[in-house]
Homo-oligomer: A and B are copies of this chain.
């Protein structure tokens, strides 16, 4: 199958929030639908930590995308009406420049010489892409999970970048439970001797570390209640087991194994570390005015009110332990206080954080209903 990715050259140098700059950096992206003559029907999607720009199949690449049920003709993001763009995050490894890319200054892979990455850099670079495509103002900016935080970063730096915003299962700042989980994921990678401070190759690869990190991710992306119904205490058949001490005996364990196996070689460990740390660093409260007061949430709210939107949809699920619904309520209230008309949708999907990838019927319906009002 052909590759539908297009590439956008970022302004060079592209300056990063915490210092440093990238020369000759690029973003990969895919598009669906047509940009209209007024250039006012563009919808930009920022993804979670690991997906590529391939949100849905298109004429060039017919393989299903990660948001196949949401993006397409007649779907939640209706490509008959909207020109949909999905971008691979700066710092990722699916075509955009990141720690696994060649540093043009040295001719070698960046590895840990890649500058410190923040979600604001991801947001700012995506804004450059939109501008580069001739879009003065997005009809809607969509951000899922990590991409939702990056979207808030984009909007705080470019408050007029979008007329509407769809915020999906995300947070205005990283809280300690999520930081603890991500810190442990990074530690699993770092402690793998094959990580070797970022200097691995195909033959000496931190497979163990990234596998543990992915499994912990999968556990926190789903919910206990869903797994009770799905796996219960079902055991593996004898011929599905490996003869190793304390090896997998339950179906839930082989499910985690399968997830990890698919991920290990598909996502670069250094990119994972950079994106994971960027998520921990994200805190929109940094942009709150100093007179916001000291009660918890005041600075978050003050920052969010600086974002100028006409409309917003904030959507999340009750069973999400990584991005709890309460944090999405904070976003909704802050954007509302900033003057936007905000729809808040809290779903009771049992699938936890991953519901936006799984319970696409309800997410698609909510997104479609919102987009129809624009």
From B180, B198, B324, A219 is in contact (CB under 8 Å) with B180
**Residues in B whose Cβ lies below 8 Å from that of A173:** 233
Report the nearest B residue to A190, measured CB to CB.
B246
Q: A interface, how many residues as a size bin?
A: 35 or more
Show 19 A/B contacts (Cβ-Cβ < 8 Å), sorted by A. A112-B245, A175-B232, A176-B227, A176-B231, A176-B252, A177-B219, A180-B219, A180-B227, A183-B252, A183-B256, A184-B212, A184-B215, A184-B216, A187-B215, A190-B244, A216-B216, A232-B296, A246-B273, A250-B280
From B174, B198, B232, B253, A180 is in contact (CB under 8 Å) with B253
- What string of 1s and 0s marks CB contacts (under 8 Å) between A150-194 and chain B? 000000000000000000000001111111110110111011010
Report the nearest B residue to A192, measured CB to CB.
B191
**Residues in B whose Cβ lies below 8 Å from that of A219:** 177, 180-181, 184
Report the nearest B residue to A230, measured CB to CB.
B176
* A248 adjacent to chain B (CB < 8 Å): yes
Whole-angstrom CA separation of A130 from B198 in the bound complex = 56
With known contacts A246-B190, A246-B277, A321-B224, A256–B184 Cβ distance under 8 A: yes
Report the nearest B residue to A181, measured CB to CB.
B219
With known contacts A198-B245, A224-B321, A253-B183, A188–B176 Cβ distance under 8 A: no
**Residues in B whose Cβ lies below 8 Å from that of A208:** 191
In whole Å, how far is A198's beta carbon from the nearest beta carbon of chain B?
Answer: 7
**Residues in B whose Cβ lies below 8 Å from that of A280:** 249-250
* A103 adjacent to chain B (CB < 8 Å): no
**Residues in B whose Cβ lies below 8 Å from that of A184:** 212, 215-216, 219, 256
Report the nearest B residue to A248, measured CB to CB.
B183
* A283 adjacent to chain B (CB < 8 Å): yes
Whole-angstrom CA separation of A123 from B175 in the bound complex = 40
Complex contact B245–A180 (CB within 8 A): no
Complex contact A179–B252 (CB within 8 A): yes
Whole-angstrom CA separation of A63 from B18 in the bound complex = 49
In whole Å, how far is A203's beta carbon from the nearest beta carbon of chain B?
Answer: 17
Complex contact B245–A190 (CB within 8 A): yes
Known: A179-B250, A190-B245. 20 other contacts (CB 8 A): A112-B245, A174-B233, A175-B227, A176-B230, A176-B232, A176-B250, A177-B223, A177-B228, A179-B253, A180-B252, A183-B252, A184-B212, A184-B215, A191-B212, A198-B245, A232-B296, A246-B273, A246-B277, A249-B280, A250-B280
In whole Å, how far is A223's beta carbon from the nearest beta carbon of chain B?
Answer: 8
**Residues in B whose Cβ lies below 8 Å from that of A233:** 173-176, 179, 283, 285
